[in-house]
Chains A and B, each alone.
Chain A
Amino acid sequence: MSSDQPRGGLKVLVAEDDPPSCVLLKRMLGKFGFDVVVARDGVEAVEKFSIEKPELVLMDVMMPKMDGYEAARSIKSIAPDEFVPLIFLTAIQDEDALAKCLEVGGDAFLTKPYTRTILGSKIDAMLRIRDLYASVRQQNIAITRLQQQFLAEQRLAEKVFSSVVRGGNRNDGIRSLLSPSAIFNGDLFVTATRATGELHFLVADFSGHGLSAAIAAMPASDIFYSMTSGGYGIADIAETINRKLKSILPADMFCAACIGAVDTIERKLAVWNGGMPPVLIVDSQNRIRARAPSRHMALGVLNAERFDRALQFFALAGDDRIFAYTDGLVDAPIATGGRFSQAGFEACFDAPVAPGRQFDWIIDSLREISGEGFNDDLTLVEIDTQATNVAARGREAAPSRAASNWETALLIEVPALRTYDPVPYLLGLLLEIQGLQPQKETLLTILSELFKHALDDRLLGLTGGSGARSVEPEHYNSERATRLAALASGFVRFSIRHRALTHGGDLTIQVESGGADGMDNAPPPDDRFNPSTMSRGLGMLRTLCASARFMGGANRVEVVYRWGNPR
């Protein structure tokens, strides 16, 4: 940049008490194209700086009232965040005096006499620094704003995610460690109670980190809650979450998950584990009694056709507890190098610890061996299967809709019968048409038991009448799957009829099964429900319904469920 180049519009404050010097300076600056403001002493310089807001200051050192040093100090303190270059012009040659020019806040000095070229170059150099300062400052402001925005969004997201992943009905007997940092890194733990009395839980770990990982937790937990309350089982829930995640997540993101159902009445545990460390079942002596290892790929990887719904089943004893956790626990780095590891985690169960203290013991042990590096980006859940005993059945409350007369029937044959569970659909009808929400738990139990009788007992011969083919509980699920796959023909027919009564209604549900080879339809001994000859579930229908009976043989059952206070 040459010193003759015009620098139009830039406002310069000149503080100079000597009139000839002032005139000379004004002329030089005028040629550069500057807009010049003059102050005759230090006090006036400070005043004009505030009023005129110049972009450059040229300051004489020796001035009346207030010298240049003091004026420079004041000027620099007026707008500390802005950079307005201040150049001292002085005839002084003394080193200390020159050093003081910079000490008091001046950015440069120019000793008199100077030429126009030198003055111009000095000013140019100062303006370059000013421009650099301005652009750095702009970037700083932008970065600070972005950072604040990010932090605000993160706080908001944390709040939303926390309420999502900590929501649901927490039961007694469940303990969990799920830190905000783990949530934000894609860990998820939710529970919900199915109307049949099963406690559903989902412990999940999304791949990736931060917001992108956490965001996918929302559809997963939504599906979990709505399907559990809709009466669906965990295989259906796993399949639906998988389909949803497969459709929304990019190919390299997925969700390791274990979904469990604790049946506190039948004392069973069902687990679907895809990509998570083994779920542990621990007995009252703190011994690891069983493990439910990963049998599947994580959710969101496989397309619907390849998805595998298979569950693992375990019988539960009295006070068994279940431990589920993310790999953040076993991969936690420890002070001596290496990781906590599966073996290190399982060794915690060998310690002489009271069962109720086991959870704390694990966390304390990990905290101790992690030392300084303890990082709570992990999730650990303990479920006490005795304390979680849930759901009083058969609640009664006022219906939400006036009773009407209506009826419907549903016939399902093989092969649909092998995979389709009609119970949620039928329950949905009862809730929608008749508004029987308050009776939902009871109705779900009735429909489930009727379907189980028709399919498991009659068509598959797993329990009930044909004793020769009955199986032991521990082989039940694998044998059920085998026989279901081999079922070549057969049907189940539901007929539902509702009759309005004053202050309530009668719901008659008939279920009939048939069509399978080698099926027997011997009527039970006295054609009535006899607990000693019936499966436990079917026997329970007698207590839930106004009437329950066989219709000409064990293959057709009719129950009448009466709701409200009919007259």
Chain B
Amino acid sequence: MGVEASLSSDGRTVRIAPVGRFDFNSHREFRDAYSKHPAGLSYVVDLRRTQYMDSSALGMLLLLREHAGGDAARVVIENAQAEIKSILDVANYHKLFDVR
């Protein structure tokens, strides 16, 4: 459980990995994972170990994108498991995010 965050060795990419349930209760931890880093960096949300995601989590991804620079942001969402991938598909998140 929780949200793991790390900065790449070149200092250009912030990697955020929610573990277990990514939902309303992750709000603070998820925000803490990116808020100390400036806009303009690359942000990668790694969903490999995310088991569940609700609409609050979708909202948090929008907040991250806004923090990262809005329309100028580079936010990658990757490694989503089938069930979570379908949530992202229904929400058409590929229109705002680089969903891999």
From B56, B89, B90, B96, contact of A301 by CB (8 A): B96
Decide yes or no whether B1 CB sits under 8 A from chain A.
Answer: no
Q: Main secondary structure on chain A at its contact with chain B?
A: loop
Within A196-254, the residues touching B (CB, 8 Å) are 205, 207-209, 251-254
Question: Taking the nearest CB of chain B, how far is it from the CB of A211, in angstroms?
Answer: 15
Are B62 and A254 in contact, CB atoms less than 8 angstroms apart?
A: yes
Question: Taking the nearest CB of chain A, how far is it from the CB of B77, in angstroms?
Answer: 14
CB contact under 8 A between A295 and B62, given known A208-B56, A252-B56:
no
Q: How long is the Cα–Cα vector from A208 to B54 in the complex, in angstroms?
A: 9
Q: How long is the Cα–Cα vector from A254 to B61 in the complex, in angstroms?
A: 12
Decide yes or no whether A256 CB sits under 8 A from chain B.
Answer: yes
Q: How long is the Cα–Cα vector from A301 to B96 in the complex, in angstroms?
A: 10
Are B63 and A275 in contact, CB atoms less than 8 angstroms apart?
A: no
Are A294 and B92 in contact, CB atoms less than 8 angstroms apart?
A: yes
Q: Main secondary structure on chain B at its contact with chain A?
A: helix
Decide yes or no whether A297 CB sits under 8 A from chain B.
Answer: yes
CB contact under 8 A between A207 and B55, given known A252-B60, A252-B63, A275-B90:
yes
Find chain A residues with CB under 8 A from B90 CB: 275-277, 293-294, 327
Find chain B residues with CB under 8 A from A275 CB: 90-92
Are A301 and B55 in contact, CB atoms less than 8 angstroms apart?
A: no
Find chain A residues with CB under 8 A from B91 CB: 256, 275, 294, 297-298
Decide yes or no whether A417 CB sits under 8 A from chain B.
Answer: no
Question: Taking the nearest CB of chain A, how far is it from the CB of B4, in angstroms?
Answer: 21
Number of interface residues of B (CB under 8 A): 16
From A207, A209, A253, A297, contact of B93 by CB (8 A): A297
Are A208 and B62 in contact, CB atoms less than 8 angstroms apart?
A: no
From B55, B89, B92, B96, contact of A274 by CB (8 A): B92
Decide yes or no whether A498 CB sits under 8 A from chain B.
Answer: no
CB 8 Å contact bits of B8-22 with A (1 = contact, 0 = none)? 000000000000000
From B56, B89, B92, contact of A207 by CB (8 A): B56
Complex A-B: 27 CB contacts under 8 Å: A205-B55, A207-B55, A207-B58, A207-B59, A208-B56, A208-B59, A251-B59, A251-B62, A251-B63, A252-B56, A252-B59, A252-B63, A254-B58, A256-B55, A256-B91, A275-B90, A275-B91, A275-B92, A294-B91, A295-B92, A296-B92, A296-B95, A297-B92, A297-B95, A298-B91, A301-B62, A306-B95
Interface residues of B (CB under 8 A from A): 24, 55-56, 58-60, 62-63, 66, 89-93, 95-96
The 3 closest A-B pairs by CB, nearest first: A252-B59, A207-B55, A297-B92
A251-B63, A296-B95 known, 16 other contacts, Cβ within 8 Å:
A207-B55, A207-B58, A208-B59, A209-B24, A251-B62, A252-B63, A254-B59, A256-B55, A256-B91, A277-B90, A293-B90, A295-B92, A297-B92, A297-B95, A297-B96, A301-B62
